[in-house]
Amino acid sequence: MHALNPSTAAFAAVALLSALPGTQAAGLYTKSSPVLQVTAKNYDQLIAKSNHTSIVEFYAPWCGHCQNLKPAYEKAAKNLDGLAKVAAVNCDDDENKPLCGAMGVQGFPTLKTVRPQSTKNGKRGSGKPVVEDYQGPRTAKAIVDAVVDKINNHVRRVGDKDIDAFLADRNETAKALLFTEKGTTSALLRSLAIDFLDVISFAQVRNKESKANDMFGIETYPTLVLLPGGDKEGLVYEGEMKKDAMVKFLSQAGQPNPDPAPGKAKSEKKGGKKDKSTSKAAEPSSKSTSAPFSESTDVPPADSKPVVAEVAPPIPAITSDQKLINECLNRKSHTCVLAFVPSAHGEEAEKALASLSEIAFKHAHGQRHLFPFFEVHTENEGAASVYKSLELSKDVEIIAVNAKRGWWRHYAGDYSAESVESWIDAIRLSEGAKNKLPEGVIGEAVETAEEKPAETVEVKVEETVKVEAETEAESAATGAEAAPEATEHDEL
């Protein structure tokens, strides 16, 4: 890693490098945290394909609300241990960005519960998991209650009327019966039934059902009885109502399903195309409205409270030609990034603008200086003339321009945040191709009365912070010895 060098140039380089894609930001949760840390690679195995219910927090380590949530979330994880999974995905990690995007994450933290579909006969459905936004209070108790509520119930309620039917195939299938005074099915019993899906059939019998209770001579509650099947005698559980000990007891009738399922990677390789489609099916999709289960996925209830999240604000739009000159195209203007889009936007424009706002937001939170980004409408005369001079042609174009130094750069990639960000980072490091800015593009700044106050502030902020970056860019561009060496030194 880089040695900290007290020279300004080296500091600037370290700051710049920390913004490069591929840099792994440290997550919010340590290895010893009860919160399960999930990545794009293992999300499917650990969460989407699990038979258990999960709550997943999509977060960024720099986000204040995420830091505030951490103690409550860890407490919820401890309370839900063995009952449901409490997981977190670091969306600041480049590897995870596509997952966070696919999950429709727009602010941090975003909390979602994920559980398998449960079909009418109580079996696990084979399709996509049901994904729902959690928008309740950010307290351990509220989170635990909401997650417990989403644990699928594979436990049959059995009474005097149907006890015989339930026991009819007892020689073939192992069965577990919990005799209890309660009418509701506990999270613990539901989670056990999930662990032993297709291995042991679970039932709950109330103490009032005298025939059923008498059949097994039950006198105290709760009592758990295991019928292992075949010739084996029924067994009565004597221990505490604790998950680990109960799993051990029940394992006499068969092993619980390993979670995550083993050997999946192998079969996925072998199966090729076919398996790819199954894994796709397991991926939740917040977009596809044609999906048969879309009504149960990702659609927040209409009356839900607004999400308390930090959402990247849109980048400012420049709506007048004079403002464009004032901000970015006069002889004193520093670097600006301009997104030329039709004022009606459209899909491409939305994507480009969303990527830019995300990048600006991220940098602002990391307290890293970044040149300003603006949205410019291509219908404006000024924009049209820039298009002509720079020979731009697409509906949506992103350029960086530094009128003071007389250069501009053209962005040519797709409009994903990753791709745009690596281009931005190259500009910050003064890498990549610059074009000479044609004379005609530069105009005279005219301070309009209404713009003046805002601009004074902007310029001031820019000037104080900008010194380093500009110096660095300048010396790199002029081929000065010291700066490029310092940059090389600090590269990874």
| Sites of contact with ligand NAG (CB under 6 A) | 49-51, 124, 171, 197-198, 231, 257, 259-261
Could you tell me the smallest distance in angstroms from the CB atom of residue 169 to ligand NAG? 7
- Cβ closer to ligand NAG: 260 or 406? 260
Could you tell me the smallest distance in angstroms from the CB atom of residue 32 to ligand NAG? 25
Tell me, what amino acid is at 242?
K
- Cβ closer to ligand NAG: 42 or 68? 42
- Cβ closer to ligand NAG: 198 or 379? 198
Could you tell me the smallest distance in angstroms from the CB atom of residue 451 to ligand NAG? 60
- List, in sequence order, every residue forming a beta bridge with 330; answer none if it has no partner: 443
- Cβ closer to ligand NAG: 60 or 200? 200
Could you tell me the smallest distance in angstroms from the CB atom of residue 197 to ligand NAG? 4
Could you tell me the smallest distance in angstroms from the CB atom of residue 151 to ligand NAG? 14
Could you tell me the smallest distance in angstroms from the CB atom of residue 186 to ligand NAG? 20
- Cβ closer to ligand NAG: 75 or 264? 264
- Cβ closer to ligand NAG: 107 or 229? 229
Distance CA 161, CA 205 (A): 11
- Cβ closer to ligand NAG: 169 or 414? 169
- Cβ closer to ligand NAG: 50 or 53? 50
Distance CA 391, CA 154 (A): 64
3-state secondary structure the chain: CCCCCCCHHHHHHHHHHCCCCCCCCCCCCCCCCCCEECCCCCHHHHHHCCCCCEEEEEECCCCHHHHHHHHHHHHHHHHCCCCCEEEEEECCCHHHHHHHHHCCCCEECEEEEEECCECCCCCECCCCCEEEECCCCCCHHHHHHHHHHCCCCCEEEECCCCHHHHHCCCCCCEEEEEEECCCCCCHHHHHHHHHCCCCEEEEEEECCCHHHHHHCCCCCCCEEEEECCCCCCCEECCCCCCHHHHHHHHHHHCCCCCCCCCCHHHHHHHHCHHHHHHHHHHCCCCCCCCCCCHHHCCCCCCCCCCCCCEECCCCCEECCHHHHHHHCCECCCCEEEEEEECCCCCHHHHHHHHHHHHHHHHHHHCCCCCCCEEEEECCCHHHHHHHHHHCCCCCCEEEEEECCCCEEEECCCCCCHHHHHHHHHHHHCCCCCCEECCHHHCECCCCCCCCHHHHHHHHHHHHHHHHHHHHHHHHHHCCCCHHHHHHHHHCC
- Cβ closer to ligand NAG: 171 or 277? 171
Could you tell me the smallest distance in angstroms from the CB atom of residue 231 to ligand NAG? 5
Distance CA 430, CA 402 (A): 12
Could you tell me the smallest distance in angstroms from the CB atom of residue 410 to ligand NAG? 49
Could you tell me the smallest distance in angstroms from the CB atom of residue 472 to ligand NAG? 51
- Cβ closer to ligand NAG: 49 or 138? 49
Could you tell me the smallest distance in angstroms from the CB atom of residue 45 to ligand NAG? 8
